């Protein structure tokens, strides 16, 4: 049984919507358990992330998917505080070998989202994580990976929708990433048994 952790920060709700899509994708795979961890303001004191229960939940996971909005071309301050707080895991190498992945949302098609994904990717590589991205070709706007980003999911809100939503292809990208992460995590856990 593979445990998939999804840790994310959202302020406007769109990154949370994408986190739910990733969770749906991961949950659709047999033999997976999804653990969602949301970074909230009360987790941060004097600029430092401190939520031991959340960290212990992620420690127990076989895969961790990180999600953050893109603010001014980078991860949100809340996600940066979280990433900085993983330093003790870096020293102990406790996340080495875990599957890693990432997603982000910003208002525009680019919004320099790639930089956000690369910030998270580099952190994952420093931990020794095994990275999973998207494998779909960007063929149509309503299909997965419409923006042609492979290192993770890049998404944009659908401001025309009556309720807060992502563009259809972006929600599909989140689900696809969740499925891929769950599949790779299941393979890794089977090999480790």
Question: What gap in Å lies between CA 126 and CA 83, rounded to an integer?
Answer: 11
Is the model's pLDDT at 31 over the cut of 90? no
Amino acid 189: pLDDT: 78
Percent of the chain with pLDDT over 70: 98
DSSP for 144-168, written as a single string = TTTT---SSEEE-B-TTSSSS-B-H
Question: What gap in Å lies between CA 158 and CA 182, rounded to an integer?
Answer: 27
Question: What gap in Å lies between CA 66 and CA 100, rounded to an integer?
Answer: 8
Total-model pTM = 0.96
- pLDDT, tens digit, for every residue of 135-164? 988 888 788 998 899 999 999 999 999 999
Mean pLDDT of 114-123: 97
Task: To the nearest 10°, report the CA torsion of 113, 155, 175, 153.
Answer: -20
Domain count, the chain: 1
Is the model's pLDDT at 3 over the cut of 70? yes
Is the model's pLDDT at 193 over the cut of 60? no
Question: What gap in Å lies between CA 48 and CA 42, rounded to an integer?
Answer: 10
Percent of the chain with pLDDT over 90: 84
**Terminal-residue alpha carbon distance, the chain:** 10
CATH number, residue 106: 3.40.50.360
Residue 96 main-chain phi, psi, to 5 deg: -65, 130
- pLDDT, tens digit, for every residue of 72-92? 999 999 999 999 999 999 999
Sorting pLDDT into bands at 50, 70 and 90, what band is 192?
low
Task: Report residue 108 as tokens.
Answer: 């525009």
Q: What is the extent of the structural domain holding 14?
A: 2-192
């Amino acid at each position: 049984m593979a445990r998939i952790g999804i840790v994310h920060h959202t302020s406007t709700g769109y990154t949370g919507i994408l986190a739910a899509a990733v969770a749906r994708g991961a949950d659709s795979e047999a033999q997976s358990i999804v653990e969602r961890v949301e970074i909230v303001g009360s987790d941060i004191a004097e600029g430092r992330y401190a939520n031991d229960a959340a960290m212990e939940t992620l420690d127990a996971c076989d895969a961790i998917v990180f999600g953050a909005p893109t603010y001014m071309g980078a991860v949100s301050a809340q996600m940066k505080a979280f990433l900085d707080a993983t330093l003790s895991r870096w020293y102990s190498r406790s996340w080495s070998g875990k599957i890693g992945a990432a997603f982000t949302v910003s208002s525009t098609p680019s919004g320099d989202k790639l930089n956000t994904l690369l910030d998270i990717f580099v952190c994952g590589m420093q931990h020794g994580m095994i990275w999973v991205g998207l494998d779909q070709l960007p063929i149509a706007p309503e299909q997965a990976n419409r923006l042609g980003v492979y290192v993770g999911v890049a998404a944009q809100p659908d401001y025309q929708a009556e309720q807060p939503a992502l563009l259809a292809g972006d929600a599909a990208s989140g689900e696809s990433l969740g499925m891929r992460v769950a599949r790779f995590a299941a393979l890794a856990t089977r090999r480790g048994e």
